Amino acid sequence: MEDLGSGSLVDLPAHGLPAEPTVQEALRSGMHLVTCSGDKLLGGPQAGLILGRADLIARLKAHPLLRALRTDKLTLAALEATLKLYRAPERVAGSGPGHVPVLSMLAAPLPVLVERAERLCAMLAELPGLSTDLRDGEGFAGGGTLPEAPIPTCLVAVHGAAVAVSELARRLRTHRPAVVGFIRDDRLIFDMRTVADGELADIAGACRAALAAGP
């Protein structure tokens, strides 16, 4: 039995990411049972998965604890929808229809992130009292997935002359939709690897509303 953890179903190096054992590799290696996550690199709902020999799975299903720990129907529906996307593995890490968001974010090329950052800076430049600059950065997948593998990214650092950075961050968090960044060097930072193209206008709108609230 192997506790795989991440639940990856794709070849991560093919997308420019460090290698992580896949579920398929674990099963082909001769493991009788493999446990993994339904979220993390799989990109589905929070869930624990057990795969392996049918006779062993049947014994697990007969255990009385199954009734207390079984997955609800909504989680199963979300998991099924996610797994169906993997029928076209060439699309799961893309940005169009049929992509898995977490894989799309992790695999996004750095030039794409820089261009995204430049567009956000152009939007924010229209707001009086707000200054921005681009910075190199690195992030981590988190949650024990690729734990020591830094992933290069592009950051947008925001500073409001009339509003303290902690207050600006608070106003953005309580905005609808909420906008969450992190504070570093007295600047509010947005990581472009975690921002979709369609969210740039939302960030600019939230910043406009935060500044309009006054000092």
Per-residue pLDDT of the chain (215 residues; tens, 9 = 90+): 999 888 889 888 888 888 888 999 999 999 999 999 999 889 999 999 999 999 999 999 999 999 888 889 999 999 999 999 998 877 888 777 778 888 889 889 999 999 999 999 999 998 988 899 999 999 888 766 777 788 899 999 999 888 899 999 999 999 999 999 999 999 999 999 999 999 999 999 999 999 987 76
The encoded tokens of residue 70 equal: 């079984």
Q: Give residue-wise pLDDT tens across range 132-145.
A: 999 999 988 876 67
CATH class of 2-105: alpha beta
Let me know if the fold of 2-105 is the same as that of 108-212. Answer: no
CATH class of 108-212: alpha beta
CA distances from 72 to 153, 176, 209 (A): 37, 30, 39
Q: Give residue-wise pLDDT tens across range 160-170.
A: 888 899 999 99
Could you tell me the residue ranges of all domains in the chain? 2-105, 108-212
pTM of the model: 0.81
